């Protein structure tokens, strides 16, 4: 025999079965270190210590170390980049791009291309490359930019985003923000920066690349305003590091515009859309709007006619003049962009509304017990 065994002794116990006691492990001749030493044939039973492998300095754990070294803002930017990659890979952005850009080119483009300052171009380059560099310290009121509209110059195009949510922790909100950044990159960036965010320009049925047919206008990063009452300090840092403007005031959607404006309001409350229409209730005002948000016709279908006309009267009165087109469905983003449509307000449709449509312009008042789905201003 070349193996080993244990010596077992049955110890008698009164009235019970014998107890089995293991005295030790006996090494058979093939295992004995010295046949002349009888003590060498015994080993006292005990725990065997496992030898731990020591990692050499710099060996393994590099990814964990890099992740720990990142600031929360840098980690959030990285997740935004990953959401952007998923949007491009899924094909959803490719199928939705024209649906959004065509109305912008048709209704918001000025006759001549506006110039972009050097500072704006630097901000756009940072946005296009999505560099993982954020503000060193926490954002504050002095660090956030003040409200730039109304009261600013009337030329140029701007973007206002409401209700994007906690994109640093919510995958749906992050995907919606990545979609907006892709859209802004298409509108404002040319060349390498656009390629970095949007990928190579694709041929459109044998014609020139789609990007070359874009409208001749830009939305500089500093003219993109965002507000959500749930924004954290980290999320404010991320947005400001991209050159965008974080609003400090809860406007409840009551923003009066003086220039062509894209409002990005995916899955916002009904009152927010109604307030926005009221604030710009004129042919001139509404014709400068393009809204990406919940379908107005879907809102009408889900509400009783009496409730719809009483509580959301501005949506109800303008509905027949709205040009609405839904984003194409995609199985990967059914819960992210469901019920989302692009709304335009063509002048020829607005002027065709009855004159009494514009006569009454009272500020919306909502029942106290109504679930508005928006956060009220504290003022």
More confident residue, 326 or 60: 326
pLDDT score at 207? 34
How many Å apart are CA 339 and CA 336, to the nearest integer?
9
Query: Residue 226: CA atoms inside 13 Å, Cβ hemisphere, count?
Result: 29
Mean pLDDT of 202-222: 45
E-state strands within the chain: 4-13, 16-27, 42-43, 158-162, 224-227, 245-246, 261-265, 289-294, 323-326, 340-344
Which among 355, 217, 354 is positioned nearest to 288, based on CA atoms?
217
CA quadruple 211, 213, 218, 219: dihedral, nearest 10: -60
**Does residue 58 register a pLDDT over 60?**
no
**Does residue 249 register a pLDDT over 70?**
yes
CA angle, 83 then 87 then 89, to 5°: 115
How many Å apart are CA 106 and CA 361, to the nearest integer?
28
pLDDT score at 243? 87
Mean pLDDT of 371-376: 66
pLDDT score at 54? 60
pLDDT digits (tens, 9 = 90+) for 291-326: 999 999 999 999 999 999 999 999 999 999 999 999
Across 3-12, 21-30, 202-211, which has the greatest mean pLDDT?
3-12
pLDDT score at 272? 94
More confident residue, 174 or 71: 174
pLDDT score at 4? 52
Reported confidence tier of residue 185, pLDDT bands at 50, 70, 90:
confident
Which among 79, 92, 252 is positioned nearest to 163, based on CA atoms?
252
**Does residue 197 register a pLDDT over 80?**
no
pLDDT score at 369? 63
Rounded (10°) angle between helices 233-241 and 72-90:
70
pLDDT score at 171? 94
Reported confidence tier of residue 27, pLDDT bands at 50, 70, 90:
very low
CA angle, 138 then 141 then 142, to 5°: 90
More confident residue, 119 or 86: 86
**Does residue 186 register a pLDDT over 50?**
yes
pLDDT score at 163? 93
More confident residue, 127 or 19: 19
pLDDT score at 120? 40
* Contacts within 8 Å (CB) and 24+ apart, 351-355: 351/283, 352/321, 353/317, 353/318, 353/320, 353/321
pLDDT score at 306? 94
Which among 133, 135, 231, 124 is positioned nearest to 181, based on CA atoms?
124
**Does residue 285 register a pLDDT over 70?**
yes
Mean pLDDT of 261-274: 94
pLDDT score at 123? 40
More confident residue, 65 or 227: 227
More confident residue, 145 or 98: 98
Reported confidence tier of residue 372, pLDDT bands at 50, 70, 90:
low
Q: What does residue 16 show for φ and ψ, rounded to 5 degrees?
A: -130, 170
Across 26-35, 54-63, 190-199, which has the greatest mean pLDDT?
54-63
pLDDT score at 236? 94
The sign of the torsion formed by the CA atoms of 67, 70, 73, 77 equals: negative
Compute the mean pLDDT over every residue in the chain, rounded to the nearest whole number: 74
**Does residue 141 register a pLDDT over 50?**
no
pLDDT score at 366? 86
* Contacts within 8 Å (CB) and 24+ apart, 296-304: 296/322, 296/324, 296/341, 296/343, 297/324, 297/341, 298/339, 298/341, 299/270, 299/273
pLDDT score at 16? 59
Burial 210-227 (b: 16+ CB within 10 A, else e): bbeebbebbbbbbbbbbb
**Does residue 142 register a pLDDT over 70?**
no
Strand partners, 159: 224, 262
How many Å apart are CA 242 and CA 360, to the nearest integer?
41
pLDDT digits (tens, 9 = 90+) for 112-131: 443 434 444 444 344 444 43
pLDDT score at 368? 74
**Does residue 226 register a pLDDT over 80?**
yes
pLDDT score at 281? 97
């Amino acid at each position: 025999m070349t193996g080993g065994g244990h010596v077992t002794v049955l110890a008698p116990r009164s009235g019970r079965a014998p107890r089995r006691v293991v005295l030790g492990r006996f090494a058979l001749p093939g295992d004995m270190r010295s046949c002349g030493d009888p003590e060498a044939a015994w080993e006292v039973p005990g725990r065997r210590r496992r030898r731990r492998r020591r990692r050499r300095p710099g060996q393994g754990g590099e990814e964990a170390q890099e992740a720990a070294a990142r600031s929360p803002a840098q980690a959030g930017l990285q997740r935004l980049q990953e959401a952007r990659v998923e949007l491009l890979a899924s094909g959803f952005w490719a199928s939705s791009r024209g649906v959004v850009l065509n109305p912008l080119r048709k209704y918001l483009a000025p006759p001549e291309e506006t110039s972009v300052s050097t500072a704006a171009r630097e901000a756009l380059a940072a946005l296009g490359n999505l560099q993982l560099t954020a503000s060193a310290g926490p954002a504050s009121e002095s660090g956030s930019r003040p409200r730039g509209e109304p009261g600013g110059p009337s030329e140029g195009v701007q973007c206002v985003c409401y209700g994007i949510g906690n994109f640093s922790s919510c995958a749906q909100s992050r995907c919606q923000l990545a979609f907006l950044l892709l859209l802004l990159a298409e509108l404002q960036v040319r060349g390498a920066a656009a390629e970095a965010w949007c990928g190579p320009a694709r041929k459109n049925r044998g014609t020139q690349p789609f990007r070359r047919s874009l409208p001749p206008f830009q939305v500089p990063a500093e003219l993109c305003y965002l507000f959500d009452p749930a924004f954290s300090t980290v999320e404010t840092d991320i947005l400001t590091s991209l050159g965008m403007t974080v609003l400090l005031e809860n406007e409840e959607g009551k923003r009066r515009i003086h220039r062509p404006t894209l409002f990005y309001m995916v899955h916002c409350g009904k009152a927010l859309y109604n307030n926005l229409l009221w604030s710009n209730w004129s042919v001139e005002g509404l014709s400068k709007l393009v809204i990406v948000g919940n379908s107005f016709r879907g809102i009408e279908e889900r509400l009783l006619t009496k409730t719809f006309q009483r509580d959301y009267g501005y949506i109800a009165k303008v509905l027949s003049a709205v040009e609405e087109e839904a984003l194409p469905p995609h199985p990967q983003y059914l819960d992210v962009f469901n019920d989302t449509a692009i709304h335009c307000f063509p002048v020829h449709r607005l002027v065709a509304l009855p004159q009494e449509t514009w006569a009454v312009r009272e500020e919306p008042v909502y029942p106290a017990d109504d679930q508005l789905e928006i956060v009220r201003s504290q003022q």
